[in-house]
Chains A and B, each alone.
Chain A
Amino acid sequence: DIVLTQSPDSLAVSLGERATINCRSSQSVLSSSTNKNYLAWYQQNPGQPPKLLIYWASTRASGVPDRFSGSGSGTDFTLTISSLQAEDVAVYSCQQYYTTPWTFGQGTKVEIK
């Protein structure tokens, strides 16, 4: 199985400041045939199901504010929230859909400092 390890487990950021979450994969999720990274990010607000934020490592899902951005390739990925808003308090998880079993990172909790 592909293991995804996120860092940090939690972080507290002031409103308007940048939040950065890392996701490292135990093996590459970059397809040589499509040149795409099969890596997604989800946001999970308390008591809610996950919501798709980013796919193909850097493509924002429909309706996602542009303060959210994804980057990285191969085994190392980053989710950045450029200017943290109150509604961004949530748990963020990365997920690989490169090969089954599809797997998720353990999640990173983002709070307001």
Chain B
Amino acid sequence: QVQLQESGPGLVKASETLSLTCIASGSSISSHHWSWIRQAPGKGLEWIGYIYYSGSTNYNPSLKSRVTISVDTSKNQFSLKLSSVSAADTAMYYCARGGLGATAGLFDLWGQGTLVTVSS
């Protein structure tokens, strides 16, 4: 069974860097596009960015200056770093699998999500 599982600190201090990891089980990360998506409390979903197993990335311009997504194919995982966080970054963070080519942004598999709270 294919699964994604996010992990990382649930509490991050303002101005510091949020770091999350997503491990894929049952599916090789050496295919598909792999995205991070977040959802602030009571809000809609916001796509943060993706990485392809080759290492190519694409970030949402609204977060681009603060986001880094990396991949470790040997561990079948990919990671998110979001720097200089503020209360506005408090959200449920999901990792998700996108397709190939034209369906890179079509998310057919999601992790359960991890809640990250930014404290002052």
Give the interface of A toward B (CB within 8 A): 1, 31, 34, 36, 38, 40, 42, 48-52, 55, 61, 93, 95-97, 100-107
Q: 1/0 per position for B52-69, CB-CB distance to A under 8 A? A: 000000101110000000
Interface residues on B, range: 20 to 34
Give the interface of B toward A (CB within 8 A): 43-47, 58, 60-62, 94, 96, 98, 102-108, 110-113
Q: Which of A40, A93, A100 contacts B44 (CB 8 A)?
A: A93
Further contacts, 5 of them, CB under 8 A, given A50-B45, A101-B47: A38-B102, A40-B107, A52-B108, A93-B44, A104-B45
Q: Which of B45, B104, B106, B112 contacts A93 (CB 8 A)?
A: B45
In the complex the two chains form, is B45's CB within 8 Å of A97's CB? no
* A-B contact list, 5 entries, CB within 8 Å: A49-B96, A51-B110, A52-B108, A93-B44, A100-B58
> What residue of chain B has the Cβ atom nearest to residue A34's Cβ?
B102
A49 to chain B: which residues have CB within 8 Å? 94, 96, 110-113
Known pairs A49-B94, A49-B112, A49-B113; A97 contacts B106 (CB<8 A):
yes
A101 to chain B: which residues have CB within 8 Å? 47, 60-62
B79 CB to closest chain A CB (Å) equals 18
In the complex the two chains form, is A107's CB within 8 Å of B44's CB? yes
